[in-house]
Amino acid sequence: MLDRRDLLLTAAGGAALAARAVAAPASATPGAEQRLSLLLDQFFAEDLADSPELATSLGLDIGPHADLKSKLHQASVADLERRKRRTADQLARLSGLDRKVLSGMPAVNYEAVFYDLETTDAANRRFHYGDEGAGSPYVLSQITGAYQDAPDFMATQHTIATRADCEAYLARLSELARVMDQEIERVRRDAGLGVIPPDFALKAALGQMKTMRVPAEQSTLVTSLADRAKAKGIAGDWQGQASAIYRDKVTPALERQMALLTELLPKSVHEPGVWRLPDGEAYYAAALASRTTTRMTPQEVHKLGLDVGAQLSARADVLFRKIGMSQGSVAERYRVLFKDPKYVYPNTDAGKAKLIADLDQLVRAMQRRLPGYFGALPKAGLEIRRIPKETEQGASTHYTAGSLDGTRPGIYWLNLRDTAEAPWWDMPTTTYHEGIPGHHLQQSLQRQADLPMLRKVADFGAYVEGWALYAEQLAQEMGAYASDPAGELGYIHDALLRSGRLVTDTGIHALRWSREKAAAVLSDTDGDPASLAEQEIERYAVWPGQACSYMVGKISILRLRDRTRAALGGRFDIRKFHDAVLLSGSLPLGVLETAVGRYIAATRRA
């Protein structure tokens, strides 16, 4: 279930948006700012009413929105088309406001929201399959679909504190079957257009669905409610009621999805790229531009990946020599490091619990470093949890933001299906990326910032993932690896992965590489085991362009930091620079440049 909207880019580009913001006059009329504020609040209310999951993820499914806690989003073809019409209508209403009379942060807010609506609407008009805009072209895959999202969402986002919460949970569990059947409708519609996921994506999805199809008493969709209700002392046969819904509604809906994917499997192909889909080359161009919020071509992105990868490999070679490993290519030495047993925790529940406990210690140590690099600090707590066993075969390590009021913490979800795939030398940088100073810090501060609600929950991939990758380098600059060359190798390894993503994402979708060639190239870039490299490529195949957002965003933030330091000289303050980036909220990269420019100008005037 999605708790965010996908954001797309049209030919207008981030640079043009930034130029429009820069051109705004120095002063704005209060009336225009008020009208913009009211309009953005209306948009947020409309989006919230249409996404019960968003209301829950923000902790807003209470009071006047309490009814949303019993619901899930509508997922039919008709509802998708209705949302597209709403996007077009919001764009028209926003376009009716004269942007030229806005300045400062209101101008930035306008440009960010206009960018979202304009690019999403353009993609909606051109492409007629998959999600709204140019998000994922496939409704069901190993990483998309309600079957994939529901266990985590129901267990961690849907709070259980009262009997009403339990009853709402049961209602939502019934709703899940309806959503899954509506997804079937859309999959059949798309298949009729020639849009069928690659065979490996279908097989992986079927494998996860089989894992999910367990007796009711073993399903987290049932036990999550029963266990939490018991812990809260809420009387009732919640286990029995949830089991009945799971058995009579959810399982049959899951079996219908499995039957559909089995039916589609003989019609699928092994090619991973979206170039084979209707208007596929244009779809990838839109997806790539959406995820990077730039106008970079696939060829430019591909070359950037090769160039950055060469620089990182040179640094890795120096670090490997420090720990006595000088033979073989960088990838070959990483493969040796992966197999070193001294870095691997026992592949048991106890071993995995110990790994999480040790990562908690890393988080606490990093928290002590933050005041030297950030003015604003996050108020929300952070928890580290294992991805549920039902979905760990296809799910990636990721972060889920907490509630707006801070009562529900952010969660760093760690895939621990096999601890050999998570050696300790690679764990610190992953934790800095997902936790602090990465996603948790960024998204918590965005929600604390003085921004319209619509901007508090905005999510531009290049900004969000770019910041998290920047945070990995920042941790190194903060001294996190001062006496730990193996840990710094982990940081370089993950940066190599992101440079490899630029190469392989464009490889499969623009250069028409095979899944096997892309996996081999990725493995030869960062030394990942074949199983991990293959899982990565399979993810890129069904989520085109997203893998490119990380490195493009990081490089943009580093360039802005260099520009700010050069402009301010001795007045440069890393804490204030970070505040200027983070308290402006998630932005297209061109608009972020405008926001940082405002900070530079204000500092010079002070």
What confidence tens digit (pLDDT) does each residue in 194-214 have? 999 999 999 999 999 999 999
The CA distance from 182 to 147, in Å, is: 12
| Phi, psi angles (nearest 5°) of residue 133 | 70, -150
Burial class (CB in 10 A: 0-12, 13-18, 19+), 544: buried
- What confidence tens digit (pLDDT) does each residue in 7-24 have? 322 223 333 333 333 333
Dihedral angle computed from the Cα positions of residues 418, 4, 550 and 94, in that order, rounded to the nearest 10 degrees: 180
The CA distance from 94 to 85, in Å, is: 14
- Least confident segment among 11-25, 382-396, 503-517: 11-25
- What confidence tens digit (pLDDT) does each residue in 430-473 have? 999 999 999 999 999 999 999 999 999 999 999 999 999 999 99
pLDDT band at 396 (very low <50, low <70, confident <90, very high): confident
Residue 17 pLDDT: 30
| Phi, psi angles (nearest 5°) of residue 40 | -65, -35
- pLDDT, average across residues 119-143: 95
How wide is the angle at C-alpha 499 spanned by C-alphas 294 and 15, nearest 5°?
Answer: 10
Select from 52, 57, 54, 79 the least CA-distant residue to 68.
52
Residue 39 pLDDT: 97
Q: Are strands 398-400 and 382-386 parallel, antiparallel or unpaired?
A: unpaired
Residue 504 contacts by C-beta under 8 Å, 6 or more apart in sequence?
Answer: 513, 518, 519, 521, 522, 536, 537, 540, 547
Residue 335 contacts by C-beta under 8 Å, 6 or more apart in sequence?
Answer: 527, 529
Residue 467 pLDDT: 98
The CA distance from 108 to 113, in Å, is: 9
Domain boundaries, the chain: 297-544
Cα-Cα end-to-end distance for the chain: 46
The residue among 13 and 337 whose pLDDT is bigger is: 337
Length of the chain: 606
Select from 454, 586, 463, 442 the least CA-distant residue to 60.
454
Residue 606 pLDDT: 83
Residue 142 pLDDT: 95
Question: Distance of CA 516 to CAs 144, 351, 530, Å?
Answer: 22, 33, 10
Residue 30 pLDDT: 56
pLDDT band at 156 (very low <50, low <70, confident <90, very high): confident
